[in-house]
């Protein structure tokens, strides 16, 4: 088993006033040559966006973009004609493909929005852009991993143009669980959303992350109530 550790306080940070962003990987003005990507996982941004503020129309291409609001709601619009609100508990996926323009704003005039925006390199380039969003019930991930996106739409997940699986789980203190990569060529990137856990000989706290590869499985022990996100991603 090989591993890398990314502590919460070691992430890149940008304060734009209306936007406070933590970057797990090199992004915008934050650049670290040893933190450019983890396999096909390119971006994991932890953004806090002020009421009514957000990102105006801007383009993307050839990237699988997954957005997970942790608190608050996002107002989305794009050049494919999609418009809507993505609430905490929902997950949004957009295949930028051969090119799409979109905007994302905090839907509230009074409350902050906190979200993960995650980019994965696509398996097939220049596909027709596509959009999807879905509500995932918190009760369905208590004590287990709930699959959010997958290449085969397993367990009610949304489709993604890559051999990557996103799973989220909520666990009680003292719980233990194992996670095995879906493919032997995949690694796993585990982000602690909340709580404290032990995995691969490391203690991880809120917003700490660990990347593991060349492994059969990872054993995870909860030192407290914990919320976890696992990205099971190709390493090549």
Is 6 a domain residue? no
Q: Are residues 31 and 130 in the same domain?
A: yes
Domain boundary among 135, 164, 198: 135
Contact 208, 7 (CB under 8 A): yes
pLDDT at residue 155, as a whole number? 78
How many domains is the chain built from?
Answer: 2
Q: Are 141 and 169 in contact (CB under 8 A)?
A: yes
In a shared domain, residues 129 and 33: yes
- Model pLDDT, residue 154: 79
Taking the C-alpha atoms of residue 110 and residue 177, their distance in angstroms, rounded to an integer, is 39
Report the distance separating Cα 39 and Cα 213, nearest Å. Answer: 10
Residue range 24-36, pLDDT digits in tens: 999 999 999 999 9
23 and 110 housed in the same domain: yes
**Does the pLDDT at position 152 exceed 80?**
yes
Tell me the backbone φ, ψ of residue 19, rounded to 5 degrees. Answer: -130, 125
pLDDT at 146: 97
182 domain-assigned: yes
The secondary structure of residue 51, as a DSSP letter, is T
Cα angle 99, 119, 19 (rounded to 5 degrees) comes to 100
Residues 143 and 127 in one domain: no
Q: Is residue 73 part of a domain?
A: yes
Both 20 and 104 in a single domain? yes
The last residue of one of the domains, among 100, 135, 170, is 135
- State the pLDDT at residue 13: 98
What pLDDT score was predicted for residue 236? 85
- Which of 135, 152, 176 lies at the terminal end of a domain, its last residue? 135
pTM: 0.97
CATH number at residue 49: 2.60.120.10
Nearest to 73 by CA among 95, 51, 93: 51
Domain residues for the domain of 58 are 11-135
pLDDT of res. 229: 98
The mean predicted confidence, pLDDT, of the chain is 97
Q: Do 109 and 146 belong together in one domain? A: no
Residue 123 shares a structural domain with residue 57: yes
């Amino acid at each position: 088993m090989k591993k890398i550790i990314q502590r919460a306080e070691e992430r890149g940070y940008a304060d734009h006033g209306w936007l406070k962003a933590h970057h797990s990987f090199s992004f915008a003005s934050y650049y670290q040559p040893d933190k450019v990507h983890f396999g096909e996982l390119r971006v994991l941004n932890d953004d806090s966006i002020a009421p009514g503020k957000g990102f105006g129309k801007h383009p993307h291409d050839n990237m699988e973009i997954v957005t997970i609001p942790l608190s608050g709601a996002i107002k989305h619009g794009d050049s494919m004609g999609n418009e809507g609100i993505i609430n905490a508990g929902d997950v949004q996926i957009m295949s930028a493909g051969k090119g799409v323009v979109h905007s994302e704003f905090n839907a509230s005039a009074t409350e902050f929005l906190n979200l993960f925006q995650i980019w994965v390199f696509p398996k097939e380039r220049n596909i027709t852009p596509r959009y999807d969003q879905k509500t995932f019930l918190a009760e369905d991930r208590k004590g287990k991993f709930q699959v959010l996106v997958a290449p085969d739409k397993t367990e009610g997940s949304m489709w993604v143009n890559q051999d990557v699986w996103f799973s989220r789980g909520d666990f009680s203190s003292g719980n233990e669980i194992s996670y095995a990569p879906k493919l032997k060529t995949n690694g796993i990137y585990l982000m602690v959303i909340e709580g404290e856990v032990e995995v691969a000989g490391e203690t991880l706290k809120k917003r700490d992350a660990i990347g593991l590869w060349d492994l059969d499985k990872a054993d995870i022990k909860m030192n407290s109530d914990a919320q976890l996100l696992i990205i099971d991603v190709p390493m090549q």
